[in-house]
């Protein structure tokens, strides 16, 4: 199935932006600690600049971009404001009430992201109910339906209630690989959760010589032991990570930037689909949470955002004095 709409871009004849245009529209901030790059630019221009310059060759020589995470606007048709007393506009999620206008930009952007992603890489696209169905079909077209590797439901647990209709209490995170040979670190501690008490009592009745509880299963005539203290791999419904809301312990991470995501959400994603030293790309980096998480996990990163407030917020969160402009 392919999604069509009026004036849909023709990717076969799509020409990336020229180098001359890019030079005049980008502000680069290098992070002196690593090979990190923060780009203040319109999103498609920034990714095109990476493709059309020596940057992609350098990135690929250093292992390539193994993970892309994006959290694009949700087609709210609103100005998203900074929090607090100063109600400045952080960014405009306005498309003249035209889903076609919105899709045109997203479609080209996902096409460009596919071009820069390493063959062993994955992309995580964070969306909500307004655009999830559209973007999934676009991802099917560009990455291939067979490369859908996950449809994560993140229960944002924001307390929203409505008596008129079903209240929205989750986001979707669509996960696609570029090929069948992709990174997935199932042994990462950040991908494990504890077994429930009922599961321990029902299934983990045996103990080894060291007193560790385990269960034994026979699969294809082979015996496998699963230890209770190793935890179990989380599934595709994430209830254990809270969103940024009042009275939550994670509010210590809070900036004034709207729609900020918790660091724990991004550390889980990054640990699952990349290794130390790999490049992570976030082309809608907003408050910079994905880049902060990448720093914590010893990944290289590339962040892109068109809004000055986003760039300044990110620089403050990742030691502003470690950046220099070219």
- Give domain status of residue 171, yes or no: yes
User: Quick one: 68 and 106 in the same domain?
Assistant: yes
Residues 98 and 181 in one domain: yes
- Asked if 74 and 203 sit in the same domain, the reply is no
Do residues 52 and 90 share a domain?
A: yes
Residue at 5 is within a domain: no
93 membership: H or E segment, kind and range? strand 89-93
Q: Give the pLDDT band (50/70/90) at residue 101.
A: very high
279 in a structural domain? yes
- pTM for the complete prediction? 0.91
Arithmetic mean of pLDDT, 2-31: 70
Domain count, the chain: 2
Residue 112: the pLDDT is 95
Asked whether the beta carbons of 276 and 62 are under 8 A apart, the reply is no
Q: What is the pLDDT of residues 22-73, one digit of tens each?
A: 555 566 666 655 678 889 989 998 998 888 877 888 889 889 999 999 999 9
Of 19-23, 73-77, 257-261, which range is least confident? 19-23
Q: Which of 33, 28, 30 shows the shortest CA–CA distance to 296?
A: 33
Query: Per-residue pLDDT tens for 163-210?
Result: 788 888 899 999 999 999 999 999 999 999 988 889 888 999 889 899
Strands (E), 157-264: 170-177, 192-193, 206-207, 213-219, 222-227, 232-233, 237-238
Query: Which residue range forms the structural domain that includes residue 251?
Result: 35-188+239-317
209 and 89 in one domain? no
Same domain for 217 and 74:
no
The rounded distance, in Å, linking the Cα atoms of 212 and 229 is 7
Q: Helical H runs in 187-258?
A: 197-203
Residues 147 and 78 in one domain: yes
140 with 163, same domain: the answer is yes
């Amino acid at each position: 199935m392919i999604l069509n709409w009026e004036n849909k871009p023709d990717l076969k004849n799509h020409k990336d932006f020229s180098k001359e245009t890019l030079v005049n529209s980008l502000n680069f901030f290098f992070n002196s600690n690593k090979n990190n790059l923060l780009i203040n630019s319109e999103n498609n221009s920034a990714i095109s600049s990476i493709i059309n310059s020596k940057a992609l060759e350098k990135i690929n020589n250093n292992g390539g971009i193994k993970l892309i995470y994006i959290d694009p606007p949700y087609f709210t048709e609103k100005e998203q404001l900074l929090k607090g007393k100063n109600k400045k506009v952080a960014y405009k999620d306005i498309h003249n009430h035209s889903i076609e206008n919105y899709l045109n930009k997203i479609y080209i952007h996902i096409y460009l992201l596919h071009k820069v992603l390493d063959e062993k890489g994955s992309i995580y696209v964070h969306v909500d109910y307004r655009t999830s169905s559209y973007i999934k079909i676009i991802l099917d077209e560009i990455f291939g339906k067979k490369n859908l590797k996950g449809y994560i439901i993140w229960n944002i647990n924001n307390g929203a209630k409505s008596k008129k209709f079903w209240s929205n209490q989750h986001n979707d995170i669509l996960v696609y690989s570029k090929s069948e040979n992709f990174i997935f670190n199932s042994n990462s501690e950040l991908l494990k959760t504890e077994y429930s008490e009922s599961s321990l009592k029902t299934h983990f009745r045996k103990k080894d010589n060291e007193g560790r509880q385990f269960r034994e299963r026979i699969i294809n005539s082979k015996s496998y032991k699963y230890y209770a203290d190793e935890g179990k791999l989380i599934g595709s419904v994430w209830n254990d990570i809270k969103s940024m809301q009042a009275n939550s312990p994670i509010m210590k991470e809070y900036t004034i930037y709207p729609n900020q995501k918790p660091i724990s959400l991004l550390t889980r994603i990054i640990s699952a689909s990349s290794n130390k030293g790999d490049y992570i790309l976030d082309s809608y980096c907003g408050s910079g949470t994905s880049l902060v998480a990448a720093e914590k996990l010893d990944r290289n990163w590339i962040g892109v955002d068109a809004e000055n407030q986003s760039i300044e917020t990110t620089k403050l969160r990742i030691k502003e004095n470690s950046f220099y402009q070219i």
